[in-house]
Structure 1
């Protein structure tokens, strides 16, 4: 039987997806309502046991059919990128290469997460029937309720949900505090909470166990991160166990309306995304002080504790500490201590490799710090 463990990393894409992939496989990236791996679970009884698939590929009906039709010892490609192959082992040679005519949905660069998230929210949210009378009695308003999924365990008070332009998903044990505004398509996943007056704009996924406030637009928050207070985050990807201080804000569009450039870990240089909008990419375990300001297209590595009332640099290496411009290296023992504190605060288990992972990230980014 095919297993999701046969979703494989690609070395080049994994480097391009840093800092997120320092601590997770490609298949553990979040898109829409779940990780990529979770989306492939339903195909474990469909695919042949000798099939291997790129971990950043999202399943689709056409792609599944192409994979099912793959002959033994052959590989499926999109241009120069392998997508899937059938072989006796991951290291086997491929006798035949088959090229796709249409680009499949897969993550190659960080901005691809946002593009695919927009479509995934529309495709994955399946509305349910909920008690509208009870919903209204708690001071809530729902526009186009037939386009919403609201888990019965959620607690929603004095909020407005507008699903007229896209579906809205409110997961298990979610709490929406008074004055929360949500425009679909959007999802608030299990055990998350919005603060008073939170504004969640379209194409946003708030991951498991997050607490958010202020204004968030077209962004993905990976699990267990906080942005509890006022401030704007738009067209951004926020890693896990991050905490954004009050009034932390990013720009998501250049003043000259030119396309946004992002730091690329594969080249140690800026790369043109071709997108007009991109705010910030934060790795895991990033904390910011109050009034921190990020410019358009800023990348911040893992394990950073940073602040600054002027715009921060557009690339901040992992393990950076302090108030800009007086950044210093973050001691690895202090970084581990801080990460452990946030993991405990979110009632999660500490990874066994936490300390070794921090040491490895320190070594990997030696050139970036110089």
Structure 2
């Protein structure tokens, strides 16, 4: 369930062919900047390069107070709201919401992702229709500045990365004011309770409850 193919439906992002080449999704983080630069040169006439290496689809709505740092791509039908801060290396898919005072840095947002209110998302990948509640954050650097490891059920997986926030599978729901600690991986269709402090791996179709208790979703 930690493999890239188990977390994401590649058809819901123009980054899909790129991501297919990696066993684990965090291996793709280092190449996001170059990926955006390469994709930007191939975009159709329905995209406008509004500033050097910043491409915005003609149907996207970007507030005049939002900052779009290079390189970035904003997909069709996406809304970038008041005072959003896209620092750069952000690939934002179709029909996404990047909300007020949200900060993005070195990320891939699949189509229909919502980060609508006061979110920080850095060095992370958010799968199709994933949603981060108001004030929820990805913490992408450990407090002791050592390299991030993924705390998997069968032991720790070294990543070799100093900066690595979270991998959210498709249809993940993160509750308000939650913190996703460095190296967090959340499987598809899982939910995180509000005000949670999440670390490690959350299996697919699960609920992370208060105190870090993980239960499987009921099938009935």
Length-normalised TM-score, structure 1: 0.53
Change (3 A) 1:253 1:188: same
Change (3 A) 1:162 1:248: farther
Q: Which of 77, 98, 103 in structure 2 is aligned with 1:191?
A: 77
Aligned to 1:201, the other structure's residue is in SS state strand
Q: Which of 79, 97, 113 in structure 2 is aligned with 1:225?
A: 113
Q: Distance in 1 between matches of 2:190 and 2:175?
A: 11
Paired position in structure 2 for 1:120: 35
Runs of at least 5 residues in structure 2 that lack an aligned partner in the other structure: none
**Aligned-residue offset at 1:331:** 1.7
Q: Which has the larger radius of gyration?
A: 1
**1:1-370 matched pairs, under 5 angstroms:** 16-17=3-4, 19-21=6-8, 24=9, 28=11, 30=13, 33-36=14-17, 56=20, 106-126=21-41, 150=48, 163=52, 167-213=53-99, 214-263=102-151, 268-321=154-207, 323-325=209-211, 326-333=213-220
Answer 1 or 2: which has greater strand percent: 2
Q: Distance in 1 between matches of 2:154 and 2:4?
A: 13
Runs of at least 5 residues in structure 1 that lack an aligned partner in the other structure: 1-13, 38-54, 57-105, 131-148, 152-160, 334-370
Aligned to 2:161, the other structure's residue is in SS state coil
Answer 1 or 2: which has greater helix percent: 1
Paired position in structure 2 for 1:4: none
